[in-house]
Amino acid sequence: MREDYIWDFYSDDSGAYTDFKEKMTYGDYLQLETLLDSQKRLSDHHDEMLFIVIHQVSELWLKLMIHEIEAATNAIQNGEYQAAFKMLARVSKIQTQIIHAWDVLSTLTPAEYMEFRGFLGNASGFQSYQYRLVEFVLGYKTPHIVKIYEKDPVLHKRLKSAFEAPGLYDVSIQALAKEGFHINQSILERDFSSKYQQDPTVADAWLEIYRNKDTYWNLYQLAEKLVDIEDWFQQWRFRHMKTVERIIGHKTGTGGTSGVGYLKKVLDHYFFPELWEVRTKL
């Protein structure tokens, strides 16, 4: 087959639709006009576009993460493990994307950022309600965060609902009990709006699962999917911290936090503590 014929085959667009007067286009479906008109620079600085796009793209990825984690949580509650595993694997892949976003943002130099930083006022990623929703659906609850969004009743209601609902780790622990493992009743019936505290019965259950993975294959896979998510989350937090340090050093964040100091502190938090503890005990 001639090379030019192959090229013609792949570049042939003679059958492509061109009349869209009454048909939906690609741009219509994705609402691109609205999406691409959402990058409103407050300064004339060239690099502010980079700053806006990176954060907007990350918010879109966070939206998909929430969508997948909430669905996986429901699947686990219904014993639909294979569906949950696929969703959680997708979450891990999404996390690789938002980690790499920091590599792009780190091309912004300190001198360049300082030329438009003042236009941000007190706007900060600390206020990202989707990031907080990710924390809530994973099971990490911080009550003072909900207060930030009281001025928006619709958003506040959504956050409060996620804040009070069982998170991904809560339903995973419930799955242990359903499979016959002894879990302290106080853990199963706890107030899900409170911060989770490590429990020895949960640790013992995961240890038994890891020692007998063939017997408890679904729960073993579930454990590893959770570890994947936590691992990538911590890598995201680390890249966030180092990118901030690279660009603004140890300045106070625009949202009033200690900046790098705050980001370093959250690196010590674990969503699924017993799953890390079990590695030492095996």
Torsion angles phi and psi, residue 277, rounded to 5: -65, -35
d(CA 153, CA 190): 27
- For tokens 């969503």, the residue is 271
Give SS3 for 194: coil
Which residue ranges make up the annotated binding site for heme?
240
Which residue ranges make up the annotated binding site for substrate?
51-55, 113, 117, 254
What element of type H or E holds 220? helix 217-248
Torsion angles phi and psi, residue 13, rounded to 5: -120, 25
Q: What is the DSSP letter of 279?
A: H
- Taking a C-beta distance cutoff of 8 angstroms, is the pair 169, 226 a contact? yes
Which residue ranges make up the annotated binding site?
51-55, 113, 117, 240, 254
Kindly compute the dihedral angle of the four CA atoms of residues 268, 272, 275, 278, in this order, to the nearest 10 degrees.
60
Considering only CA atoms, which of 237, 217, 214 is closest in space to residue 225? Answer: 217
Tokens of residue 209, six digits: 């699962």
